[in-house]
Amino acid sequence: MQSEPKGQIVAMGGGGFSMEDDNTLLDDFVLSLCPSSSPRVCFVPTAAADAATYIVRFYRAFAEKATPTDLTLFHSGSLERNPPLSSDLTEFVASQDIIYVSGGNTANQLAMWRTHGLDQIFRDAWFGGKIFCGLSAGMICWFRASVTDSFGALDRLDDGLGFIDASACPHYDGEPGRRPAYHQFVSNGLPAGFAADDGAALHFVGTELVEVVTSRLEADAFRVEMTDAGVVETKLPSRFLG
């Protein structure tokens, strides 16, 4: 295994095809990171329990821009390209260019991935240079810790994949309770990290944040950390994609 990861992560606070029907800027940005003219984009809707309607929306959004595939684990509503569980998931993931992770229940998603070994498969693929992206649950799963509603009320989740050794909070402006909850958790020991509004995405190359991009002029992302003066929120420079 390489000493440093070569892959990329685009962590969206919210947005993309499932939240912005008439705004493709974030999804187009992800596609632009791949040199292929028709990248293989694999949708992983585990957090949404492999909801059939969600998968159909993905195929409709990417059919003319890429070669869409899907990877389902629940065997409910899966489409034609997902491999059965008996197949080599490592080989399947290796054949993709981009892994696009849905929103939904992060805790359930992580449990399923670990059961089937996808946590390690994804880590190896990230080290090897694959591009990973997602919104909400598909944002925070890549971090060590996060703010989640997986358990009902907003709570902290401390067992993320840890590709990025920090915490994360999605929907920072989209849900009123997110900002105060994140500040509270950081003040109580949650690692420092990043918050992203709906329409904002953090672009990491390896473990380095290289850029914040947005699909909405008003969308922002922030660094949130504990200092001697309390929790400090610092707005990060961003680039509007429009």
Active site residues: 136, 171
Identify residue 193 by its one-letter amino acid code: G
According to DSSP, the residues that pair with 148 across neighbouring strands are: 155
If DSSP codes are grouped into helix, strand and coil, which group holds residue 93?
A: helix
Cα 226 to the chain's mean position, in Å? Answer: 24
Question: For 221, what's the count of Cα atoms within 13 Å in the CB-facing half-sphere?
Answer: 29
Distance CA 95, CA 219 (A): 34
Residues in the chain: 242
Do the Cβ atoms of 131 and 97 come closer than 8 Å? yes
The CA dihedral of 185, 187, 193, 196, to the nearest 10 degrees, is: 60
